[in-house]
Structure 1
Amino acid sequence: MTDQALTEDFKKATAYELTDHDIERAHLLLGVDMASRDQEQIGTATVDNIRSFAYACGSDNPLFCNPEYAAGTRWGSVIAPSMMAGVINRPMLGDPMNAELKANTKSLFRGIHMFISGGEWTFYRPIFPGDTLYSFGGEDGLEVKQSEFAGRSVTRFNSQIKVNQRGEVVSVYRYRAILTERKKARETGKYKDISPAQYSDEDLARIDEIYSAETSRGATPLYFDDLNVGDALPGGASGPLTVTDVVNFHGGGYGWVPYGLRTGRMWNQNRKRIAPFYVKNAQGIPDVAQRLHWDSDWAKAIGNPMAYDYGVMRENYLFRYLTDWVGDGGWVYKQYDEIRKFNYMGDTQFISGEVVGKREENGLFLVDVKLKMVNQRGEDTVLCDAVVALPSRTQGALVLPEPPTDLKVRAARMMARHWELSAGKQNK
């Protein structure tokens, strides 16, 4: 869509600016622990939604997808890909935000474009069918800087602690949310010369060959003792990216809150709730701003050459790659990634990795690996540092990591308050 073709509604949607006032107000939220009241599309894990989420991430690992197979593993049943914790949430009851703080941070960064540029996951416990997840946390960092893509930008760091119904800390996710002004991103035109990828039969054959060689290690153990610093991990791939991939990812459970994708009467109600999130398309129909992940005209309107993925999709693809590598007897403990480039429709990501360290720590046998994704243009799009825990030939089976004591105390306190308030609601 050219500038001449932009509707007035498009132009209004790109007029919101980052203000010093909003940046000052954002600092008020730092260090404030809040119970998450969000009801995600999935609140409790089941065999079926675990399989659906795994498929949405391109994984057919039988540990996630085949109950008969998984029953014979050390876990005794299907478990969820650990990153599924990001899409499982039932409302946690807790004390409300201070009224003054709530008033002082209302409509913060209204209308400003936001995207996730990566984050850090720490995984402590598996998610089994029947597990319900709750979460708490909040903003714990804020940076203001100049963005090559869009002038001034704000990075907000948010940590969410995921807890199951037994009060166990399952995982912690600390992500980076980048806020940029849509108008400035469009005016810079940094990526305007990128053209959609085109594939010959030879190009597709190369990708087919990589996929054909990929496999889950499954029951074949990967031992700590057998790895050496400098060992290369097997090659992997993800793509070419299509709108179907984005649809599948939403179908697997992603993206229900805080904005929501709604239909019919619920669409109408949601527009009234968060009007700036809805921008008219070329037909004059108000549609969600996040459609830049499947609507290339809207993506162009805010400075990109075409639609692109959610960064969290690539985080999940890297997790899929790691779990295939470590097999049933290993555990992906930490995954830190930095998303350096957009992944546009048609792009393919080629995955490679290397062992960069080994150590024993608190009874764990840990291996450090570096991974990266490189697109068909030869650009590094994601850099990743991961830590996996493995069994040892000489010392025995896998040991899971323990959450820090202070984190377990915080989780216990938040869940105790949740159950207290839940009982109070039931007694009314």
Structure 2
Amino acid sequence: MTTAETSSDKGITTELAAGKFTDEMLQKMRDLIGTELRTDSCVNNEYATRLAILRFCEGIGDDNPLWTDEEYGKSTRFGEIIAPPSFIFACLGSIQVGWPGLGGFHAETRMKFERPIKVGDKITAKVVFDGFDGPTESNFGGKRIKDYLRQEYWNQDGELVATFICSRMRFERGEMQNRRESRKIELPHPWTDEQIEQIEENILAEKPRGATPRYWEDVQVGDELDTVTKGPLGLTDEIAYIAAGAAPVPRLTAHGVALRKYRKHPKWAYRDPNTKALEPVYSVHYNDYAASLQGAQIAYDVGIQRTCWGLHCLTNWASDDGFVKSIHGQYRSHVYLSDVVVLGGTVVAKEIDEDGDHIVEIETRAINQRDQNVMPGSAVIVLPTKGE
């Protein structure tokens, strides 16, 4: 028994698990490649009900009436509200597999969308472990690997709705903690009252293009997207995202339900030295102490939460008649509590693709107050044409 645990903890300590890469671990993970994974403990919603959609939109700060206003929805080509493409995360954000004792950061997202989600749709996720690269050495956190989960989302009619390739970096937490000071920045960010006032004015000025079509013919290479601003990121923003049904892997639970799970899987939790409460590893997104154990400065955002913000920007620009066909994004640096991120993009190409869709290709970005692009990426959007 270590000094960090007590006899009542049953293996739960005030530290996060600190595993090491071993040949045995790597071989076990190779043996898992191609395995379809269990999802029951990570499903948050099955049905796209009106309230489930509304709660999710509120949790990502997207009040586009196409998702939230039933009367407005009746006037659109859908005849009702639909869910934003990011709603798949409210059904199942992701799951964890293997790598006992190692830390992890969501590193990259690739998504392809096939069709919209309508009210009443039942969404079922299929998740397959597609393998990993490495281990390799990095300056950020020492030895690391990059793994891949393929997540397919199907509706009740057996139609594929979306595919999400979730890539995470896995690392030894001890090395991340050792290098934490080398990444130190001033936090929380020292905003002035004047800066906060301007940020909030920018947020309130945002609006979706809505019922005014953005025709493919009218878009030119070099056009800039209207921006969307998120922040200063606060604790309630993270709580709202969880309450929206997104992200936790597995689902967050409380009291006896949680205790029984943690006694069965001690490495899912740690004991907070301040409150003495048991907390899940996921609390790195709202608990500064947990974040420090992960090698971060303070609590930080969720990778797919950042992707939701990017999709908010894209769907605002595309209009009700546009359709986000695919996106790609890499997560660079943490977005910490108190940070502000401005999401935007530039049209870099337009063409008729192999499916016959009139598309525009967009180089996307997410710039924080330190002028870092914390989510460089790309997107393909199908737009209506004047000949339709």
Check whether TM > 0.5: yes
Partner of 2:79: 76
Aligned ranges 1:203-214 → 2 under 5 Å: 203-214=195-206
Partner of 2:62: 59
Q: CA deviation at 1:317?
A: 0.4
Contact 2:287-2:299 within 8 A present in 1 as well: yes
Partner of 2:20: 17
Change (3 A) 1:137 1:13: closer
Aligned ranges 1:160-171 → 2 under 5 Å: 160-171=151-162
Aligned ranges 1:345-424 → 2 under 5 Å: 345-361=337-353, 362-394=355-387, 396=388
C-alpha distance after superposition, 1:351-384 (max 9, x if no partner): 2310001010222101000111111111111112
Q: Distance in 1 between matches of 2:131 and 2:281?
A: 26
Contact 1:17-1:112 within 8 A present in 2 as well: yes
**Residue 266, structure 1, aligned to residue 269, structure 2:** no
Contact 2:298-2:337 within 8 A present in 1 as well: yes
Q: Secondary structure at the match of 1:333?
A: strand
**Residue 237, structure 1, aligned to residue 229, structure 2:** yes
Aligned ranges 1:191-210 → 2 under 5 Å: 191-210=183-202
Q: Secondary structure at the match of 1:28?
A: helix
Q: Distance in 2 between matches of 1:41 and 1:274?
A: 21
Moved more, 206-215 or 173-182: 206-215
Change (3 A) 1:280 1:158: same
Q: CA deviation at 1:148?
A: 2.3
1:66 alignment partner AA? D
Contact 2:41-2:251 within 8 A present in 1 as well: no
In structure 1, stretches of 5+ residues that fail to align are 1-5, 90-105, 397-428
Partner of 2:117: 127
Aligned ranges 1:99-110 → 2 under 5 Å: 108-110=98-100
Moved more, 173-182 or 8-17: 8-17
Q: CA deviation at 1:194?
A: 3.9
Contact 2:247-2:302 within 8 A present in 1 as well: no
Partner of 1:178: 169
Q: Distance in 1 between matches of 2:342 and 2:13?
A: 35
Q: CA deviation at 1:88?
A: 1.5
Partner of 1:138: 128
2:32 alignment partner AA? L
Partner of 1:45: 48
Q: Distance in 1 between matches of 2:378 and 2:265?
A: 37
Contact 2:299-2:337 within 8 A present in 1 as well: yes
Q: CA deviation at 1:36?
A: 4.2
Identity of aligned residues (%): 27
Q: Secondary structure at the match of 1:117?
A: strand
Q: Secondary structure at the match of 2:117?
A: coil
Q: Distance in 2 between matches of 1:382 and 1:20?
A: 33
Aligned ranges 1:191-340 → 2 under 5 Å: 191-256=183-248, 258-282=249-273, 283-340=275-332
Partner of 1:415: none
Aligned-pair RMSD on alpha carbons? 2.0
1:65 alignment partner AA? T
Partner of 1:417: none
Contact 1:191-1:303 within 8 A present in 2 as well: no
Aligned partner of 1:153 among 144, 151, 164: 144
Q: CA deviation at 1:20?
A: 2.3
Partner of 1:26: 29
Question: Scaled by the length of structure 2, what TM-score is found?
Answer: 0.91
C-alpha distance after superposition, 1:271-300 (max 9, x if no partner): 123211111111433211221111112212
Question: Scaled by the length of structure 1, what TM-score is found?
Answer: 0.83
Contact 1:56-1:251 within 8 A present in 2 as well: yes
Q: CA deviation at 1:339?
A: 0.6
Contact 1:82-1:126 within 8 A present in 2 as well: yes
Q: Secondary structure at the match of 1:118?
A: strand
Q: Secondary structure at the match of 2:375?
A: strand
Contact 2:56-2:90 within 8 A present in 1 as well: no
Change (3 A) 1:374 1:107: closer
Q: Distance in 1 between matches of 2:282 and 2:163?
A: 25
Partner of 1:400: none
Q: CA deviation at 1:315?
A: 0.3
C-alpha distance after superposition, 1:158-196 (max 9, x if no partner): 111111110010110001111111111101123234432
Q: How many residues align?
A: 373
Q: Distance in 1 between matches of 2:42 and 2:80?
A: 26
Q: Distance in 2 between matches of 1:288 and 1:343?
A: 20
In structure 2, stretches of 5+ residues that fail to align are 6-11
Contact 2:44-2:251 within 8 A present in 1 as well: no
2:237 alignment partner AA? D
Aligned partner of 2:104 among 114, 121, 125: 114
Change (3 A) 1:108 1:306: same
Task: Provide runs of 4+ in structure 1 moved above 6 Å.
Answer: none
Q: CA deviation at 1:220?
A: 0.4
2:363 alignment partner AA? K
1:184 alignment partner AA? E
Q: Distance in 2 between matches of 1:284 and 1:137?
A: 35
Q: Secondary structure at the match of 1:199?
A: coil
2:300 alignment partner AA? Y
2:125 alignment partner AA? S
